[in-house]
Structure 1
Amino acid sequence: MKATMNHTLEHEESLVAAGRGKWSQSGVPHRGWRCVDIEDLGEPQVQCEMCESQTIRFIHHMEHPNYSEVLEVGCICAGHMEGDISAARIRETSMKNRAGRRKRWLTRKWRISAKGNPWLRADGYRITVYERGGGWAATISSEDNSSVQHSRRNYNTQDKAKLAAFDHITRLQPSSDP
């Protein structure tokens, strides 16, 4: 897996060096971009909008003050565009780690409360999932009970409510991501 990832990054580097896609177009800035978001599509499925050649899974959303569009690009293009390949790789590694944690979230050992609801302590929070209105909902409370948040919507399965809770607490976590 790691060898495949390194091959993909090397391929993307060669596309940048070859001036593929927007790298060769006048009027498109090559430096001075800023990453405003990163997104995991779950699998490689869209083409990098800068090199216009690499199929990517992790999209770095890049903006530039002298370019009207936000471009959706891969890791290496993002690193070259912002002048910091290390920062782009750190962002992408963080997203890969999150994807792995999310994948394992449902297999964690959920306890059962006195009321029969699954609950779990994780990342400084207590997550409780329960039936509500013909569906499933979640409550997330900080371990010191200073903050309690209830899901606004119902989910049609217990697992979807658990994953929504995971997504919510990862948004609450401090991070270096954009």
Structure 2
Amino acid sequence: MATETTGTGKWTQAGVPHKGWSCVDIEELEEQEHLCEMCEARHVRFVHVMEHPNYNETLRVGCVCAGHMEEDLIGARKREAGFKNDRGRRKRWLSRDWRVSSAGNEFLNTNDGFNVVVYPKGSIWGARVEHRSSGYQRTSKLPYESQDQAKLAAFDAMIGMKHSEPWLRR
């Protein structure tokens, strides 16, 4: 299990808040190579990007420090586990059994309630992601050179929608 690291690095520095942080992003690195910017003692592969209203910089930290910083270690662990699950799902996304609509466009209906469609727009590709039960949808604004690029962009948009649930704010 994780070792307590709240006695090293920025944990010991005056002027660095220890609580009240929020995670604004999470990143996966190729290797476990990033030194946690809070404890400055652990190298991490999954980096939680943390912000605090009374601190001018974001800190890129490991799961345990993120959990202490936001006073929710279980929440930080669940966030990282969900992120890992999403990354694995993305790796399998292109090999899924895409169906073809009557209009000739490939689409998927996902188990978590989304309809994803990719379509040609001349020589480029676009995509649409719809949350089926609410009707909330996003359409790609960027052109994609290939169908696979459009599918991966649609996956990323779908995961962003899944976590932020924008249909609840309408």
Aligning the two structures, in what range does the TM-score lie when normalised by the shorter sequence? 0.7 to 0.9
In the alignment, which residue of structure 1 is the partner of 2:168? none
Matches within 5 A, 1:71-90: 71-90=59-78
Q: TM-score, normalised by structure 1?
A: 0.77
> 1:157 corresponds to which letter in structure 2?
S
RMSD of aligned residue pairs (Cα, Å): 2.5
- Alignment partner of 1:36 is 2:19: no
Match of 1:165, SS state, is helix
- Superposed CA deviations along residues 19-54 of structure 1, whole A, max 9, x for unmatched, are 332123233233x23223122234334321112232
* Residue 154 of structure 1, aligned match among 124, 143, 150: 143
Unaligned runs of 5+ in 1: 1-5
- Superposed CA deviations along residues 88-114 of structure 1, whole A, max 9, x for unmatched, are 111111111111221221111001223
> 1:135 corresponds to which letter in structure 2?
I
Contact 1:47 1:53 in 2 (8 A): yes
Match of 2:135, SS state, is coil
Q: TM-score, normalised by structure 2?
A: 0.80
Runs (4+) of structure 1 exceeding 4 A deviation are none
In the alignment, which residue of structure 2 is the partner of 1:3? none
In the alignment, which residue of structure 2 is the partner of 1:27? 15
Unaligned runs of 5+ in 2: 166-170
Contact 2:24 2:51 in 1 (8 A): no
Using the alignment, how far apart are the partners of 2:126 and 2:54 within structure 1? 44
Contact 1:126 1:140 in 2 (8 A): yes
Using the alignment, how far apart are the partners of 1:166 and 1:25 within structure 2? 41
Matches within 5 A, 1:44-63: 44-63=32-51
Q: How far off is 1:116 after superposition?
A: 3.0
99-108 vs 59-68, which moves further = 59-68
In the alignment, which residue of structure 1 is the partner of 2:128? 139
Contact 1:38 1:58 in 2 (8 A): no
**C-alpha distance 153-55 of structure 1, shift in aligned 2 (>3 A):** same
Using the alignment, how far apart are the partners of 1:138 and 1:92 within structure 2? 27
In the alignment, which residue of structure 2 is the partner of 1:171? 160
In the alignment, which residue of structure 1 is the partner of 2:99? 111
- Superposed CA deviations along residues 46-72 of structure 1, whole A, max 9, x for unmatched, are 321112232323222223344322211
**C-alpha distance 116-145 of structure 1, shift in aligned 2 (>3 A):** farther
Contact 1:46 1:56 in 2 (8 A): yes
Which protein, 1 or 2, shows the higher relative CO under an 8 Å CA cutoff with sep ≥ 6? Answer: 1
Using the alignment, how far apart are the partners of 2:125 and 2:81 within structure 1? 32
Aligned length: 163
